[in-house]
A and B are shown apart, each in its own frame.
Chain A
């Protein structure tokens, strides 16, 4: 059964070249892509069901023995993230198939490569392989960001590519340092080896670990490494931006994975090395994100800064590195991915219905379908800003509850609650301007964009409905995520699944 682990990587990897062959038949290409995403969703559900029994499974590529070959590892965390990716990808593919994919070449093949990179990053059990899947994911994201072209995207694209190339270089420096002192890059093997690093190499190990954290922090848009995000995501086509909502989570996932498994409490000189850096940076992220939400004059900018702000909340909980903290962080991950993507799609839908006002936060004549758009925006804004009864509120309560044992609990609560208020203000001002002040503006209501299609609205509504479901089934979801967090704080099962029982683990020789 464990060979099924490779399916979420293989399906998009095989579909992408197939889609390139059908590029002369856009309709066929579109249907193939949608079918592949549906297949991916089924495979992800299968893989998720496989992981719910709490066993960690590993798949050895080419059947090379563990520390030498590359392994894919499926535990509850990776299964959850793969399923989340597939759900998001379905909405994005449906949304893009209704117009956006015609605005440039190769949207669907690049989308599939992006999914391959994201799923690979979630499933791999090897640090260098993580780098490779990061690159697959990034090079596809350049294509998706530039889809449709135009000077604005080219300008933003250059900056985005440059910052990610710098990030990749730092990743390689980190990988080199860690390999230099431990002689392995297999995560499970590293978990045992970092504790045995001699004192003379402690500085190198710590440098490597923190460089790695820096790379993941760039991806997770942690202040002060977040400046690329609002520029890039605001310039991206709406479906690409919605898919990018999971990319910041790949950064957060990598932080959780590497700094619980490899640099956890038993890592000798590098034990718990990231935690003291994450908490202050996460609080700063909350502050900067909230200020950005309030300062935005365009809806899509507001959504970008709301994403930055939500990454702050998420990483506050990650910084605790205990069961309650990780449970809260994972619940918030599911919530903020779905709602962030929904908001990107909604801002595009709204922009299309407002003629020359686009998504500028200025009063305009009433838009087409104003009640429907208003209702969806209202729900999404409630969820994002953390008002009851939707998932943002539940997630935020869990985060606040998890931080109670922390020494800085006063600071954390003050910053989280104050910035939530600011974000609520930002969203209510945006909603008021878009939907209520418009009533007072004279002028003909905007006509419906042509052709009027129901599917894009359904895709955005499905994502909003996802957060409603996440709120309704918060109990079972939280129980699953708590089991996930327990699996994370006790990495023995992971190490055994990869390397076999302890005596066998001794076989790998240390670096001479």
Chain B
């Protein structure tokens, strides 16, 4: 189980880092998602791997697993879900307004002089 866990975290991170370095917004978002999956599994594993051990009080349980990493993962999932939703919307709006989804060509040059006055 340890090897499966460790290598899946490794593969997810590697895929995430590769995709983040791509030039278009869609692969970058998928890469960020992979990275956040990797860190969620990683946080979970930091409470040590255990089978058949409940994290909350149960009357018939002999041993407990560490509940804190599970709470941390839950928080991390909620936050990364919200952030991913935001960046998807941002990428879509950017694509619709500029007609390009490339992230490696810098931001659009200085807008026409009036833009920042009116925007």
Contacts and interface: CB of A to CB of B under 8 A. Distances in A.
A177 B46 contact: yes
B43 A176 contact: yes
Contacts of B35: 165-166, 169
Interface string B94-119: 10011000010011101101111101
Interface string B35-46: 110111011011
Contact of B94 (A158, A179, A298, A352): A158
Most buried by B among A103, A175, A185, A355: A175
A132 B79 contact: yes
B74 to A, nearest CB: 12
B83 A139 contact: yes
Nearest to B75: A132
Q: Is the interface of B mostly helix, strand, loop or mixed?
A: helix
B119 A175 contact: no
A142 interface: yes
B110 to A, nearest CB: 7
Contact of B114 (A158, A166, A231, A356): A356
Interface in B10-59: 20, 25, 28, 32, 35-36, 38-40, 42-43, 45-46, 48
Nearest to A449: B117
Interface string B52-90: 000000000000001011001001100110111011001
Contacts of B28: 162
Contacts of B25: 158
Interface string A245-266: 0000000000000000000000
Interface residues on A, range: 35 or more
A150 B110 CA distance: 11
A149 B111 CA distance: 12
Given A158-B90, A175-B43, A235-B107, A166 B20 contact: yes
Given A128-B72, A298-B110, A172 B39 contact: yes
Nearest to A68: B68
Contacts of A169: 32, 35-36, 38-39, 80
Contacts of B108: 151-152, 155
A196 B44 CA distance: 23
Nearest to B83: A165
Interface string A116-155: 0000000000001000100100010010001011111111
A161 B90 contact: yes
Contacts of A504: none
A180 interface: yes
Contacts of A358: 113, 116
Nearest to B43: A176
Contact of B79 (A168, A185, A298): A168
Most buried by A among B35, B90, B103: B90
A179 B46 contact: yes
Contacts of B76: 172
B79 A150 contact: no
Nearest to A162: B28
Most buried by A among B43, B108, B116, B119: B116
Contacts of A152: 107-108, 110-111, 115
Contact of A148 (B42, B93, B119): B119
A154 B97 contact: yes
A168 B28 CA distance: 15
A356 B114 CA distance: 7
Interface string A294-305: 000010000000
Given A142-B86, A155-B108, A162 B117 contact: no
13 contacts: A150-B115, A151-B111, A155-B94, A158-B94, A169-B38, A172-B76, A176-B39, A177-B46, A179-B69, A185-B68, A235-B107, A356-B113, A356-B114
Given A165-B32, A165-B83, 8 more contacts: A151-B97, A152-B110, A162-B32, A166-B35, A169-B35, A172-B39, A179-B69, A235-B107
